[in-house]
Amino acid sequence: MRQLVFLGLGALMLAACQADGETSPDTAESCGADALQHLIGEPRGAFESQDIDTPARILPPGPP
């Protein structure tokens, strides 16, 4: 009986994760991050040589 309850709860949680059909715009495309993907893993100097006039945040490697 207990297993049946957990199975039912698991099914409800998975059903809640399904998309409702409407998709929101991808934030990577709307903020321009897709144009900077080539800089991931590169040294900071590679970013500084780019002509970027909008605010940007550079995260150093390692845990936050």
Specify whether the CB–CB gap between 4 and 26 falls below 8 A: no
Of 12, 16, 8, 53, the residue nearest 35 (C-alpha): 53
Is residue 54 in some structural domain?
no
Q: Higher pLDDT residue, 25 or 6?
A: 6
Is residue 61 in some structural domain?
no
Is residue 33 in some structural domain?
yes
Of the pLDDT bands very low, low, confident and very high (cuts 50, 70, 90), residue 39 is confident
Of 13, 17, 15, 52, the residue nearest 35 (C-alpha): 52
pTM over 0.85: no
Residues 6+ apart with CB under 8 A from 10: none
User: Domain span at residue 15?
Assistant: 1-49
Is residue 13 in some structural domain?
yes
Q: Percent of the chain, pLDDT > 70? A: 73
Specify whether the CB–CB gap between 46 and 39 falls below 8 A: yes
Is residue 64 in some structural domain?
no
Is residue 60 in some structural domain?
no
Q: What is the pLDDT of residue 47?
A: 84
Q: What is the pLDDT of residue 17?
A: 66
Domain tally for the chain? Answer: 1
